[in-house]
Amino acid sequence: MAQNNNRGAFMIRIGRYTAALGMIAAGELLVLDHLAVLDSMAIIGAWWPVLLLMFGIELLFMQLIYRDPAQRMRFDFGGFIAAAILTGFVVIAVNGNQLKLTWLPQWFDGIVHQYSDESGVAFDQGTITPGIDHRTRKISLKNSNGRIIVKQGPVNGVEIHSTVYVSGAAAEEAAEIARQSAVEVRDGDHAQIIANGKPYGAAKMHKPRINLTVTLPQGPLPELDISVDNGAVDLQQLSSEQIIVVEVKNGDARGSGVDARLDVTVFNGKIQFAGLERETTLETMNGSIRADQVASSLTADTKNGSITLNDVHADLKAHTANGRIHVTSAEVGGSWDVSSVIGDVVLTWPDGEDVTVNGNSSFGDINTDWALDVRDHEVSGTLGDGTHRIRVNTHGDLSLQKRQP
């Protein structure tokens, strides 16, 4: 857009058209989301770089039109920022419940602090046995920097083994830092196990790493709430009637042989589990998801990453905004609801399953080994009695394959 200044020259403001088109596109996406046509947050999260492309095109276009040296170009910061704030406010107001902003403190903490890793000097802190007994109804485990392994074993009470790693410090200083780093235990009805690393270095910007191995006795377990800011969580052979909740802000979550309701949330990192016996939710903002031998219902959701699932024997919901989905199973034991905004989808199951299939691929190809009706980027049909429903949506290629015996 061009404006006259007091000297007769023209001031061309760049960015107004991009901002206006961006607001129009965001409004259209929100309307379609309201009509349940698509997931506006997934589209915005995957396609926001298009704004950069639009701005570049606008800049080139303006340079071709306005070639007079007297015509000066200037980026319209005010208009662009106002449009961004207004659009962001509307998106948050409409989809605020989908936005997980708990990662912001960790992101800031990661900028101002330096975390020790396992390459630092290791100090074995031994094993402690706190007074947590059968009266405890919930255990919370928290670690700002390090790994938490939770397992069951032949122990009489809860046992906690810790190892401290200190990087970038002289031997004597590292030993003192490890001595002042400890595991704090608060027992009671709601017990808490907290890894407290002693900050060190200039302005106390360094944090030691503390790896915890928590061994729980065999038998009924209390509810478990496990939280790691920077590190990993590993669940090994756990059986419980209570729910296990895991949250990792930066790092991976993994496990095997978990016979309990499981709710795993990761902001930046991958999720990998095997041998899931009960209802499970696996969610990550940035990272891949893999699950093998799933006996009960599963929800797998990632905003940026692939999803790989093997042998799912119950209801399945799998969604990624940007990534490939591959599901293969020896049976279809429940309904499958699978979607990828940007990425190919491959579903594989054996002959003899009773399923009703409905799928579409907006911009990709559809290939199937089954006797299904394929037309106009859609696939549908019934196999056997059609007991279980398979619904799949993608903007990439869709492949429905027959699993070989």
**Into how many domains does the chain fold?**
3
**Same domain, residue pair 149 and 207:** yes
Q: How high is the pLDDT of residue 39?
A: 60
44-53, 271-280, 325-334: least confidently modelled range: 44-53
Mean pLDDT of 296-309: 96
Residue 204 CA to residue 197 CA, distance in Å, equals: 11
Q: Are 58 and 17 in contact (CB under 8 A)?
A: yes
Looking at residue 145, its pLDDT comes to: 95
* Per-residue pLDDT reduced to its tens digit, 51-93: 777 777 877 777 677 666 655 666 666 666 766 676 665 555 4
Tell me if 309 sits within 8 A of 294, measured CB to CB: yes
Assess whether 126 and 239 both reside in one domain.
yes
**Tens digit of each residue's pLDDT (9 = 90 or more) over 203-232:** 778 899 999 999 999 988 999 999 999 999
Whether residue 125 is found in the same domain as residue 250:
yes
pLDDT band of 196, cuts 50, 70, 90 = very high
Give 335-383 pLDDT, tens digit per residue: 999 999 889 999 999 999 999 999 999 889 999 999 999 998 999 999 9
Q: Final residue of a domain: which of 72, 99, 126?
A: 99
Q: Count of CB atoms within 10 A of residue 402's CB?
A: 13
47 and 84 fall within a common domain: yes
Residues 251 and 118 grouped into a single domain: yes
CA distances for 218 relative to 148, 226, 232, 346, 356, angstroms: 19, 19, 24, 40, 43
Torsion of CA 318, 384, 357, 404, to 10 degrees: 60
Structure confidence at residue 117 (pLDDT)? 85
Pick the residue with more confidence: 80 or 169?
169
118 and 250 share one domain: yes
Residue 35, pLDDT score: 58
- Residue 43: pLDDT band (50, 70, 90) is low
Is 305 contained in some domain? Answer: yes
Q: Among 99, 130, 164, which residue terminates a domain? A: 99
User: 244: domain range?
Assistant: 114-255
pTM score, two decimals? 0.77
